[in-house]
Structure 1
Amino acid sequence: MNRLRVRQALEATAPVENIVVKGWVRTKRENKGFAFIELNDGSCLMNIQVIADEGIPGWDAIDKVTTGASIAVEGSLVESPGKGQKWEVRAAGIKVVGEADPETFPLQKKRHSDEFLRSIAHLRPRTNKFGAIFRIRSEASYAIHKFFHDNGFAYVHSPIITGSDCEGAGEMFRVTTLDPASTEAKAPENDFFGQEAALTVSGQLTAEIFATSLGDVYTFGPTFRAENSNTPRHAAEFWMVEPEMAFADLSDDMDLGEAFIKSVVGHLRKHCAEDLELFAKWVDKGLTETLDSIENNEFVRLPYTEAIEILKKNAKTKKGKSRFEYPVEWGVDLQTEHERFLTDEHFKRPVIVYDYPKDIKAFYMRMNDDGKTVAAMDILVPRVGELIGGSQREERLDVLKKRIEELGLTEEDYWWYMDLRRFGSVPHAGFGMGFERLLMMVTGVSNIRDVIPCPRTPKHLEF
């Protein structure tokens, strides 16, 4: 028997004898003497229709072929006389692999809310929407690795447990083997690593180590932030893509970020067209326009100071009302409403804002000659806002020392980071992109919980 996935069957170019298809029943309709079964195995959005005649092996269990049950069908792939599908399976035998009680199976042939589906995250990938999301997530992962591989980057596995706070925000999950109630817990030297340890918030510092040895590298893995936020854009566990280039400056970083986004979007539009069409039809009517804007336009490059001037000039609507909830002044970080005004209304395409005030950026970003700004950049995309944040790193030892001191960090904690500036320092640059933010952009999904298999948020650790 030739095992066919549903996608393979639907894309066949000729009838096929002696096949087996396996999957989960979406619907079943019984008529006198035969039954229509809609079968899906997760390989694609479409179901394949199975025609089962009374009397074939396994027909005596047809009552157990209910929505949600898993079955194996032996038979032939034949041309379908009905509309809407080219092929169907003419069953020669059916086997019920796993039953699903129709009284308690929670997924029925109706539209369920995202909130309800989050409560059954173990079953939601069987729905059209979430099956599509996680196929896109899989293909996007491949597209990311392919882009960097094709451009000569080495893949680095950064550690998940760290003693360094890359972002300086202090919102890190502590990792310990000690009983928190014990007196031992007050002395980090008694812990497993002999010092305080936490889950990493970024793979960047590791990427810098390898960029100054291997050249162009990237990390792609889970990161963690203990931020008590329940917004649709934040999760405690998420994945980050973080490339780092040696002998590179901020301009190189912006070039890489733009090429990267366009490449991944183009790949997904080619290889996930059917799944993306679902989101363009049912989730975000403007999705196709957004993806066109990203893939086919040159990104605007805009200094932060000019961005602030544009926002201040447009702070009022034509009717004199305040356009923005958050006021705009030089020195403030841009809010999503500011970012979306620049991309959606003013330029109507992606925008790269660069040269931010030093006081709102991390210690490792390279100081510009004006002493007020750093060589940092954010890539903003329509309908989403910030997708990528990056910078040229500070490669000058004396300037980095001063910056660490200014921010109240401990130089001894970064002795190895300083060594990279002592021994063969080179200009280098990189960026970070939240993988889930990319998935939200390409699908139009508005809640990060819906693009992560098992979301981790405050007070929620199920599945």
Structure 2
Amino acid sequence: MKDIRRKTVRELLSEPSKYAGSEVDVKGWVRTRRGNKNVQFVALNDGSTINSLQIVFDLSRFSEESLKTVTTGSSIHVQGLLVESQGKGQTVEVQAEELEIYGTADPAEYPLQKKGHSLEFLREIAHLRPRTNTFGAVLRIRHALAFAIHKFFNDKGFYYFHTPLITESDCEGAGAMFQVTTLPMEELPRTEDGNVDYSQDFFGAPTSLTVSGQLEGELGATALGCIYTFGPTFRAENSNTPRHLSEFWMIEPEMAFYDVNDNMDLAEEFIKYCINYALDHCKDDIQFLNDHFDKELIDRLKFVVENDFVRLPYTEGVKILEESGEKFEFPVYWGADLASEHERYLVEKHFKRPVMLTDYPKEIKAFYMKLNEDGKTVRGMDVLFPQIGEIIGGSQREENYDVLCSRMEELGMADMPWYMDTRKFGTVPHSGFGLGFERLVLFVTGMQNIRDVIPFPRYPKNCNF
């Protein structure tokens, strides 16, 4: 092998005229191999793009024996001349001169042969599914969206704030949390009254994996002004729906001096920015998913970024649903926590635009949401999308110390003096929201199951890989 700097497939295909006529060095995995007794064609992919680079092996130069293990899934190193392709489907190809085989994949055992595989089957081999075109596209889009999130907030002057993964508090009051302990499960220490003696545990108190970084995020906002968190969160709900995971990533900005309207403005600007970023930087991957999985994907993404979001009070939304004539699975009435079918009706059928639903009944929302003057509703806001339903949930936070104390007492919540200090010392109006990252990726990729937009999904009875 000559001393030539390796080029990625993406480099060569994005600027073919720059490298045409020169010797190139490429490495990757074999997608397919075909040919006849004179020539063999190999589609080589290195993960840098959805597209593969055609490698041409002239059998007057390479023996059949030397190519015997160049099969689907094998990894190879090739040097050769990049030339204009004579066939259809590609602009350039490499006329191979040198070949090095790194690793083989026995066709009798390799599970990703050139045929259609169900998404359910691919979940069983999640350690290999990133090698498929579909999951390569999904994971590149996931990367682009993560980068866009950091860029958006950084450019707006927000600070990236790291919140703890292990916590004593339950932000949402859901109770479905994964406990963290070093106590021996086979012989738990007990107090005199028979309860578990957590004083002997590592932290000296019951602790769990976090369901949200919001409460700690508020602490950051009341010092730094505007912050955002972006990290893993965990919920132990026994849910097997295509919209829920036990381990997922959340983006949670918190902003001092923002009211609920500022909050909604930011949420709309943010999510449009992320979708536009994906449309601009992931064209090939999105086009592939549009062509193979969801023919309406690109139109739906453009539909979101090109339309203003409707801002609708919950009370008006319930009235629209009650008068719709639709036969919903779940009943609709004032005070009900709207189901996905209700949310999607408002977005897809009634307004035909994304909807921001506001001013929910206080009974169905979290303790920290600011109480409206009517004493019945809170300044919450949810962003509703086509196909997904709720994609963002947020609110103006209750900054009044006495009102917040009353709400916590009303709900029977334990004291959190560290949290209340933000209302006790220099309180300010502030707001924030949470976006489930996988739900955003689900929307942008057009995939139907949230387990297919994270590399290694965690859900009930599954913690493989």
TM-score by length of structure 2 reads: 0.96
Q: Cα distance, 1:236 vs. partner?
A: 0.4
Give the Cα–Cα distance (whole angstroms) in 2 for the partners of residues 16 and 143 of structure 1.
Answer: 36
Look up the match of 2:37: 32
Do the aligned partners of 1:61 and 1:96 also contact (CA within 8 Å) in 2?
no
Do the aligned partners of 2:30 and 2:45 also contact (CA within 8 Å) in 1?
yes
- For residue 250 of structure 2, what is the amino acid of its counterpart? M
Give the Cα–Cα distance (whole angstroms) in 1 for the partners of residues 140 and 36 of structure 2.
Answer: 34
Look up the match of 1:270: 280
Select 2:436's aligned residue among 429, 434, 437.
Answer: 434
Q: Measured at CA, do residues 58 and 188 of structure 1 come closer, stay the same or move farther in structure 2, by a change above 3 Å?
A: farther
TM-superposition CA deviations, 1:90-149 (whole Å, max 9, x none): 111011100101101001111100000000001111111111000100111001111111
Look up the match of 1:231: 241
Do the aligned partners of 1:244 and 1:428 also contact (CA within 8 Å) in 2?
yes
- For residue 367 of structure 2, what is the amino acid of its counterpart? F
> Does residue 1:50 correspond to 2:55, yes or no?
yes
Give the Cα–Cα distance (whole angstroms) in 1 for the partners of residues 56 and 396 of structure 2.
Answer: 61
SS of corresponding position for 1:104: coil
TM-superposition CA deviations, 1:240-297 (whole Å, max 9, x none): 0100100111001100100001100101001111111122222222222211221000
Look up the match of 1:356: 360
TM-superposition CA deviations, 1:388-418 (whole Å, max 9, x none): 000011111000100111111111xx11000
Look up the match of 2:193: none
> Does residue 1:219 correspond to 2:221, yes or no?
no
Show structure 2 runs of 5+ residues with no match. 191-195
SS of corresponding position for 2:68: helix
1:157-168 residue pairs with structure 2 within 5 A?
157-168=162-173
Give the Cα–Cα distance (whole angstroms) in 2 for the partners of residues 403 and 119 of structure 1.
Answer: 46
> Does residue 1:4 correspond to 2:4, yes or no?
no
> Does residue 1:367 correspond to 2:354, yes or no?
no
SS of corresponding position for 1:62: coil
Look up the match of 1:320: none
Give the Cα–Cα distance (whole angstroms) in 1 for the partners of residues 421 and 61 of structure 2.
Answer: 74
Look up the match of 2:349: 345
- For residue 54 of structure 1, what is the amino acid of its counterpart? L
SS of corresponding position for 1:231: coil
SS of corresponding position for 2:130: helix
Select 2:335's aligned residue among 309, 327, 331.
Answer: 331
SS of corresponding position for 1:91: strand
How large is the Cα RMSD of the aligned pairs? 1.2
TM-superposition CA deviations, 1:55-78 (whole Å, max 9, x none): 647874210101100001111221
> Does residue 1:137 correspond to 2:142, yes or no?
yes
- For residue 175 of structure 1, what is the amino acid of its counterpart? V
TM-superposition CA deviations, 1:142-168 (whole Å, max 9, x none): 011111111111001111111111010
SS of corresponding position for 2:22: strand
Do the aligned partners of 2:167 and 2:209 also contact (CA within 8 Å) in 1?
yes
Look up the match of 1:108: 113
Look up the match of 2:391: 387
Do the aligned partners of 2:107 and 2:113 also contact (CA within 8 Å) in 1?
no
> Does residue 1:86 correspond to 2:88, yes or no?
no
Q: Measured at CA, do residues 53 and 234 of structure 1 come closer, stay the same or move farther in structure 2, by a change above 3 Å?
A: same
Q: Measured at CA, do residues 225 and 58 of structure 1 come closer, stay the same or move farther in structure 2, by a change above 3 Å?
A: farther
- For residue 152 of structure 1, what is the amino acid of its counterpart? G
Q: Cα distance, 1:2 vs. partner?
A: 2.3
Q: Cα distance, 1:183 vs. partner?
A: 3.1
Give the Cα–Cα distance (whole angstroms) in 2 for the partners of residues 57 and 104 of structure 1.
Answer: 26
Do the aligned partners of 1:290 and 1:383 also contact (CA within 8 Å) in 2?
no
> Does residue 1:420 correspond to 2:431, yes or no?
no
Of 24-33 and 141-150, the range deviating more from structure 2: 24-33
Of 211-220 and 174-183, the range deviating more from structure 2: 174-183
Give the Cα–Cα distance (whole angstroms) in 1 for the partners of residues 258 and 35 of structure 2.
Answer: 66
TM-score by length of structure 1 reads: 0.96
- For residue 229 of structure 2, what is the amino acid of its counterpart? T
Look up the match of 1:446: 448
Do the aligned partners of 2:40 and 2:57 also contact (CA within 8 Å) in 1?
yes
> Does residue 1:199 correspond to 2:202, yes or no?
no
Select 1:156's aligned residue among 147, 153, 161.
Answer: 161
Look up the match of 1:312: 322
Give the Cα–Cα distance (whole angstroms) in 2 for the partners of residues 249 and 189 of structure 1.
Answer: 41
SS of corresponding position for 1:170: coil
Show structure 1 runs of 5+ residues with no match. 318-322
Look up the match of 2:69: 64
Give the Cα–Cα distance (whole angstroms) in 2 for the partners of residues 115 and 198 of structure 1.
Answer: 31
The alignment-based identity, stated in percent, is 57
Give the Cα–Cα distance (whole angstroms) in 1 for the partners of residues 78 and 418 of structure 2.
Answer: 60
Task: Give the total of aligned pairs.
Answer: 455
Give the Cα–Cα distance (whole angstroms) in 2 for the partners of residues 451 and 429 of structure 1.
Answer: 29
Give the Cα–Cα distance (whole angstroms) in 2 for the partners of residues 451 and 219 of structure 1.
Answer: 20
Of 275-284 and 118-127, the range deviating more from structure 2: 275-284
